[in-house]
Copies of this chain bind each other. A is one copy, B any other.
Amino acid sequence: MFYHDKELQYKVRVTKPNPVFARMLQQAIGGIEGEIRVCLQYMFQAWGQRGPVKYRDMLLETGTEEMAHIEMLATAVALNLEGAPMSLKEEMSKDKMIGAVMGGMDPRHVLSSGLAAMAVDANGVPFNGSWVVGSGNIAADMYANVMAESTGRVLATRLWEATDDPGMKDMLAFLIARDTMHQNQWLAVLEELGGLDCHPIPNSFPQSQEVKDFNYAFVTTNIRGDGTPLGRWTEGPSMDGKGEFHIRRAEPLGGEPKLAAPDPRGHAQTEQMTSGGLVAKAKHKLGLG
């Protein structure tokens, strides 16, 4: 269960409110790279964790921290919206530079939330629960987490570049630091789990059951024979140490698929069921005759 403190984890100051930056910050709240996603992702992984209890415990810790990050960002959005233009008339009467502000804002910051954050991304697209990944396989989940913290840190550095408000830069510098830690944290779990020996994930499936010619082959679909891009993935031992990389040209091994005729109760067109009749058809044409 959970407790709260009315104070923030780190300071959130805005020197010069900017409603366009408020919109951008929404990406870090309700976007796929955002904090609602990681908060719920770590929580759901914790609540469904089967296996060593220490991972459940650790996921709860960091999931709880992420809730504080949503709070910081939501506060930053509200502060950036202080004094935002609320009418088009007002907008037009200001100087022309400001004239672009309402165009760049999220209009729902005026219309729907009354100058506060919402559970949406920078385009107003609502947070979506499908982004919360918890697979029941801890190695897969750790990669999901490294990925979330990597795209999240990329986002935070771009927000840092987009503003020159010192308070906002400071807050983002804190969040960027936390993303650094969290990338390392999930990588540390992966090391505990065996590092590259984790692979292929899941490692509990017997590789003897795989179709062998294909599990370490780089399949090239390039129609020109000489275009295959070479790299670490085309020769040498595989990263998981369990095979040898090689190249294989794409080729069809499966033949043409053949489906049965339509079930009459599915009401395809009659012509789909009696295809022989198709040629003679066409007496009542679409209009060319």
Contacts and interface: CB of A to CB of B under 8 A. Distances in A.
Contacts of A117: 44, 47-48
Nearest to A87: B162
A124 B96 CA distance: 26
7 contacts: A2-B5, A3-B64, A68-B250, A111-B122, A140-B150, A195-B286, A196-B284
A272 to B, nearest CB: 3
Most chain B CB atoms below 10 A, which of A97, A124, A199, A221: A221
A22 B56 CA distance: 21
Contacts of A217: 181
A183 to B, nearest CB: 5
A38 interface: no
Interface string A17-50: 0101101100100111100100010011001111
A278 B23 CA distance: 33
B139 A269 contact: yes
A222 interface: yes
A3 B6 contact: no
B118 A57 contact: no
A34 to B, nearest CB: 10
Given A3-B64, A181-B215, A272 B131 contact: no
A99 B20 CA distance: 12
Contacts of A130: 32, 119-120, 125-126, 128, 130-131
A170 B209 CA distance: 9
Given A10-B253, A136-B113, A51 B261 contact: yes
Contact of A262 (B50, B133, B266): B50
B150 A143 contact: yes
Contact of A134 (B113, B136, B267): B113
A23 B122 CA distance: 14
A2 B2 contact: yes
Contacts of A119: 40, 44, 129-130, 132
List the 4 closest pairs (A to B, CB-CB), nearest first: A114-B136, A48-B116, A8-B254, A51-B272
